Structure 1
């Protein structure tokens, strides 16, 4: 968030656009276990990353708070952290149907490695999301497909910063990602972001990329 704060302090119109986009909105963050949902929520609320990973076992209420970026602020009213297992899909559907903005998070390293079991899982989940989208086609939520754990991909981790964009462009063109985008409503409806939540720098960059997608 510090990265975006620096940008916003220089041009507050950027922050105003973010506020307009998010004010009064309900956001659903969905995805399988270990995709980074809780990590992202914790980072956004506290500016910190969890020291250890614990899978969310049941829906957990998290108190809202005011997120500050310098002299800028965004108030988060309340958060419900939902498990990523298949038994929670009914709760996912409720969260999705109530949301103005929906995120679906995936593990980029498993997709890049061609993990068939994982690919089958996320494809099935995206089919469900596509069905929910169909029932809301008159007023669909804004949809973001967020790929995390890019730092676990050796080809990505060794890249110079000037070549990261090219890697991401190629990543999103992979057939499995194109299918996910199609199932979620197509490229005109889905915005994509990829990166890492391993450390503060990577998290700042990923959040910055998401926020740029918001105002793009």
Structure 2
């Protein structure tokens, strides 16, 4: 089994889900008392948040590269960035380390491709919805991503992800507004929905909507398991 290096704390809430999913998945395949060999570097999210608010991605890059190098030095054979937003700098991080990053957008695109969908709604932080790093990976697989047209909807999702879901706070009003945004994107032609933030599954799941739902935390976790167990 390969040792996984998890970059967590972005937020701690979803990092817990990653740890649980990966360990349960390893045990389902190997049985007995077999669980994941992994090392977690968990950030104080306030340090990340301060730089996000300033849009200082160079500072974030330096922090994450330093953490990845520590994991690599400690024996990790692959990196799992436990947040969609952090994949904005994934390619730059990859150029600084010698072990592979399991890319959440690539793995999600592979999963959507299996469903033969061509147009999907992408939900997440403002960075994930407005920047190109996730959409470009989908495009490589012939998949178009659409996001909310209303800037207020984007700002609402961004702020609630950081200030509610990332703290484990779940509000019914927030869920209702998320579902309303999804319904609008459905009318615009979305054939499926990507939970493009690892906190979104805390508030929205497949039973809430009538479109195929792609939980990036679950998809990414399964890919990490496959990597760890591959010979």
TM range (shorter): 0.3 to 0.5
TM-score normalized by the length of structure 2: 0.34
More strand by share: 1
TM-score normalized by the length of structure 1: 0.35
